[in-house]
A and B are shown apart, each in its own frame.
Chain A
Amino acid sequence: MKSPSRSWGWLAIAIVAAALVTGFITYRMFNGSVDEMTAQADYQNVILVNVLVGISVALFIFQLKWGALRVALTVVAALILGYIVTAFFNLDTAAQFTRGKYEVALISEAAPTTADGTTLSYGGVEKGEFNKQGVRSPVTDVQYTFAGKSGDVVTLLAYAANNRSLVDLQLALTDASGATLATATAATAEQIGQFKDLRTEQDAALQDFTLPADGLYTLDVRPEVVSFSTTIGETVKATNAAYDAFLLGALGRVNRWAVWIQDALTLILVGLAIAIAFRANQFSLGAEGQLYLGALASGMIALAWGNMSPWIVIPVAILASVTAGFLWGLIPGILKAYLNANELVSTLMLNTIAIRFYDLVLTFQLKPPEAGYISSEKFTNNAIFPSIVAETQVTVAVFIVIAAVIAVWLLITRTPLGYEIRMVGANQRFAAYGGVNTRRTIMLSMAISGILAGLVGAHLSMGIYRQLLINISIGLAFEGVVVALLARNDPLVIPFTGFLYAYLRAGAQFMERDANVSFEVVRIIQAVIILLITAEALIAYFQQRRVQRKGLQSTAEHSKQAAEGGAHG
Chain B
Amino acid sequence: MADPIIQGIFSAAFLASILRVTTPILLPSLGALISDRAGVTNIGLEGMMLGSAFTGVIVSAYSQTWFGVETGLVIGPWLGLVSGVFVAIMLALLLGFFHLRLKANLILSGVALNILGSAATVAIMFELTGDRGNTSTLASLQIPFIQLPEFIKSIPLVGGFFFEVFDNQSIMTWIAFIAVAVVWFMLYRTPFGMHLRASGENPSAAQSVGIPVQRTRFIALILSGMFAGLGGIHMSMGYLSLFQRDMTSGRGFIALATPLLGGNTPVGTMIASMVFGFFDALSNRIGSLQIPSMLPLMVPNVATVMALVIYALQTRQSQRVRAMRTASTGDFNSAYWTAVQRLSLLHVVMAMLAVIGVIIAISLFLAPNGFGGYDVAYPLALVIAVVSVALISANIPFLTRVERISAQIRFSGLVSVISLGVYLGLFFSLLMQPSVAFPLGVVLGFGIWATIGGWRLFGMARQSA
Please report A residues at the B interface, Cβ cutoff 8 Å.
85, 89, 92, 133-134, 136, 283, 285, 300, 335, 339-342, 344-346, 348-350, 352-353, 356-357, 359-361, 363-365, 475, 478, 481, 485, 518, 520-521, 523-524, 526-528, 530-531, 534-538, 540
Shortest Cβ gap from B435 to chain A (Å) = 32
Cα–Cα, bound, A503→B116 (Å): 20
Q: Contact: B253 with A345, CB < 8 Å?
A: yes
Per a CB cutoff under 8 Å, which of B254, B308, B370 touches A360? Answer: B370
Q: Contact: B123 with A339, CB < 8 Å?
A: no
Per a CB cutoff under 8 Å, which of A136, A363, A528, A534 touches B139? Answer: A136
Q: Which residue of A lies closest to B303 (CB)?
A: A349
Per a CB cutoff under 8 Å, which of B104, B114, B139, B370 touches A364? Answer: B370
> Which residues does chain A contribute within 8 Å of B129, judged by CB atoms?
134
Per a CB cutoff under 8 Å, which of A348, A349, A518 touches B126? Answer: A518
Q: Contact: B102 with A134, CB < 8 Å?
A: no
Cα–Cα, bound, A133→B369 (Å): 45
Q: Contact: B102 with A535, CB < 8 Å?
A: yes
In the complex, B326 has a CB within 8 A of chain A: no
Per a CB cutoff under 8 Å, which of B113, B139, B309, B369 touches A365? Answer: B369
CB 8 Å contact bits of B313-349 with A (1 = contact, 0 = none) = 1001000000000000000000000000000000000
CB 8 Å contact bits of B287-323 with A (1 = contact, 0 = none) = 0000010110110011011001101110010000000
> Which residues does chain A contribute within 8 Å of B119, judged by CB atoms?
520-521, 523-524, 526-527
Q: Which residue of B lies closest to A523 (CB)?
A: B119
In the complex, B171 has a CB within 8 A of chain A: no
Shortest Cβ gap from B114 to chain A (Å) = 8
| A344-B43 contact in complex given A134-B129, A535-B103, C-beta closer than 8 Å | yes
| A527-B116 contact in complex given A348-B250, A356-B298, C-beta closer than 8 Å | yes
| A365-B366 contact in complex given A360-B294, A478-B111, A537-B101, C-beta closer than 8 Å | yes
> Which residues does chain A contribute within 8 Å of B89, judged by CB atoms?
none
> Which residues does chain B contribute within 8 Å of A85, judged by CB atoms?
123
Shortest Cβ gap from A285 to chain B (Å) = 8
| A349-B260 contact in complex given A523-B115, A540-B103, C-beta closer than 8 Å | no
Q: Contact: A339 with B313, CB < 8 Å?
A: yes
Interface centre among A342, A348, A478, A537 (most CB of B within 10 A): A348
In the complex, B108 has a CB within 8 A of chain A: yes
Please report B residues at the A interface, Cβ cutoff 8 Å.
43, 98, 101-105, 107-109, 111-116, 118-120, 122-124, 126-127, 129-130, 132, 137, 139, 250, 253-254, 256-257, 260, 292, 294-295, 297-298, 301-302, 304-305, 308-309, 311-313, 316, 359, 362-363, 366-371
Interchain Cβ contacts under 8 Å between A and B, 8 examples = A344-B107, A356-B298, A363-B294, A365-B369, A478-B111, A520-B119, A528-B116, A537-B101
> Which residues does chain B contribute within 8 Å of A538, judged by CB atoms?
102
Cα–Cα, bound, A344→B41 (Å): 11
Cα–Cα, bound, A364→B114 (Å): 32
Q: Contact: B257 with A349, CB < 8 Å?
A: yes
Interface centre among A342, A349, A365, A530 (most CB of B within 10 A): A349
Known: A524-B123, A534-B108. 8 other contacts (CB 8 A): A349-B253, A352-B298, A363-B370, A478-B115, A521-B119, A523-B119, A524-B116, A531-B109
Shortest Cβ gap from B385 to chain A (Å) = 16
> Which residues does chain A contribute within 8 Å of B139, judged by CB atoms?
136
Shortest Cβ gap from B327 to chain A (Å) = 22
Per a CB cutoff under 8 Å, which of A92, A520, A536 touches B122? Answer: A520
Shortest Cβ gap from B411 to chain A (Å) = 24
> Which residues does chain A contribute within 8 Å of B130, judged by CB atoms?
133-134
> Which residues does chain A contribute within 8 Å of B309, judged by CB atoms?
335, 339, 341
Q: Which residue of B lies closest to A278 (CB)?
A: B108
Q: Which residue of B lies closest to A365 (CB)?
A: B367
Per a CB cutoff under 8 Å, which of B113, B115, B260 touches A342? Answer: B260
Q: Contact: B111 with A364, CB < 8 Å?
A: no
> Which residues does chain A contribute within 8 Å of B371, judged by CB atoms?
364
> Which residues does chain B contribute within 8 Å of A527, judged by CB atoms?
112-113, 115-116, 119
Q: Which residue of B lies closest to A350 (CB)?
A: B305
Q: Contact: B111 with A481, CB < 8 Å?
A: yes
Q: Contact: A520 with B257, CB < 8 Å?
A: no
Shortest Cβ gap from A488 to chain B (Å) = 13
Shortest Cβ gap from A351 to chain B (Å) = 8
Q: Contact: A530 with B115, CB < 8 Å?
A: yes
Q: Contact: B250 with A363, CB < 8 Å?
A: no
Q: Contact: B292 with A360, CB < 8 Å?
A: yes
> Which residues does chain B contribute within 8 Å of A348, judged by CB atoms?
250, 253
Q: Contact: A530 with B111, CB < 8 Å?
A: yes
Shortest Cβ gap from A191 to chain B (Å) = 34
> Which residues does chain A contribute within 8 Å of B311, judged by CB atoms?
341
Q: Contact: A341 with B312, CB < 8 Å?
A: yes
Q: Which residue of B lies closest to A91 (CB)?
A: B127
| A342-B109 contact in complex given A136-B139, A530-B115, A534-B104, C-beta closer than 8 Å | no
Q: Contact: A349 with B305, CB < 8 Å?
A: yes
Which 4 pairs show the lowest CB-CB distances between chains A and B?
A: A364-B370, A523-B119, A339-B312, A530-B112
> Which residues does chain B contribute within 8 Å of A356, judged by CB atoms?
294-295, 297-298, 301
Per a CB cutoff under 8 Å, which of A349, A524, A530, A531 touches B304? Answer: A349
> Which residues does chain A contribute within 8 Å of B116, judged by CB atoms?
523-524, 527-528
> Which residues does chain B contribute within 8 Å of A136, judged by CB atoms?
139
Q: Contact: A342 with B298, CB < 8 Å?
A: no
Cα–Cα, bound, A526→B115 (Å): 8
Per a CB cutoff under 8 Å, which of A285, A335, A528, A535 touches B305? Answer: A335
Shortest Cβ gap from B455 to chain A (Å) = 30
Shortest Cβ gap from A304 to chain B (Å) = 12
Per a CB cutoff under 8 Å, which of A133, A134, A283, A531 touches B112? Answer: A531
Per a CB cutoff under 8 Å, which of B122, B301, B359 touches A352? Answer: B301
Cα–Cα, bound, A357→B301 (Å): 12
> Which residues does chain A contribute within 8 Å of B124, judged by CB atoms?
89
Shortest Cβ gap from A42 to chain B (Å) = 36
Q: Contact: B103 with A537, CB < 8 Å?
A: yes
Q: Contact: B137 with A134, CB < 8 Å?
A: yes
Q: Which residue of B lies closest to A136 (CB)?
A: B139
Per a CB cutoff under 8 Å, which of A349, A361, A481, A523 touches B367? Answer: A361
Q: Contact: A534 with B301, CB < 8 Å?
A: no
Q: Contact: B292 with A518, CB < 8 Å?
A: no
> Which residues does chain A contribute within 8 Å of B308, judged by CB atoms?
335, 339, 341-342, 345-346
Per a CB cutoff under 8 Å, which of B102, B114, B127, B316 touches A518? Answer: B127
Q: Contact: A518 with B122, CB < 8 Å?
A: yes
Per a CB cutoff under 8 Å, which of B103, B115, B256, B298 touches A536? Answer: B103
| A360-B295 contact in complex given A339-B313, A537-B103, C-beta closer than 8 Å | yes
> Which residues does chain B contribute within 8 Å of A365, judged by CB atoms?
366-370
Q: Contact: A353 with B298, CB < 8 Å?
A: yes
Q: Which residue of A lies closest to B102 (CB)?
A: A535
Q: Contact: A360 with B363, CB < 8 Å?
A: yes
Cα–Cα, bound, A475→B362 (Å): 25
Shortest Cβ gap from B456 to chain A (Å) = 28
> Which residues does chain A contribute within 8 Å of B316, judged by CB atoms?
339
Q: Which residue of A lies closest to B101 (CB)?
A: A537
Cα–Cα, bound, A486→B108 (Å): 12
Cα–Cα, bound, A339→B311 (Å): 9
Shortest Cβ gap from B168 to chain A (Å) = 28
Q: Contact: A345 with B256, CB < 8 Å?
A: yes
Cα–Cα, bound, A520→B121 (Å): 9
Q: Which residue of A lies closest to B308 (CB)?
A: A341
Cα–Cα, bound, A535→B102 (Å): 5
> Which residues does chain B contribute within 8 Å of A528, judged by CB atoms?
112, 116
Shortest Cβ gap from B213 to chain A (Å) = 17
Q: Contact: A524 with B120, CB < 8 Å?
A: yes
> Which residues does chain A contribute within 8 Å of B113, judged by CB atoms?
527
> Which residues does chain B contribute within 8 Å of A346, judged by CB atoms?
304-305, 308
> Which residues does chain A contribute within 8 Å of B132, judged by CB atoms?
518, 520
Shortest Cβ gap from A25 to chain B (Å) = 28
Q: Contact: B292 with A349, CB < 8 Å?
A: no
Shortest Cβ gap from A457 to chain B (Å) = 15
Q: Which residue of A lies closest to B305 (CB)?
A: A349
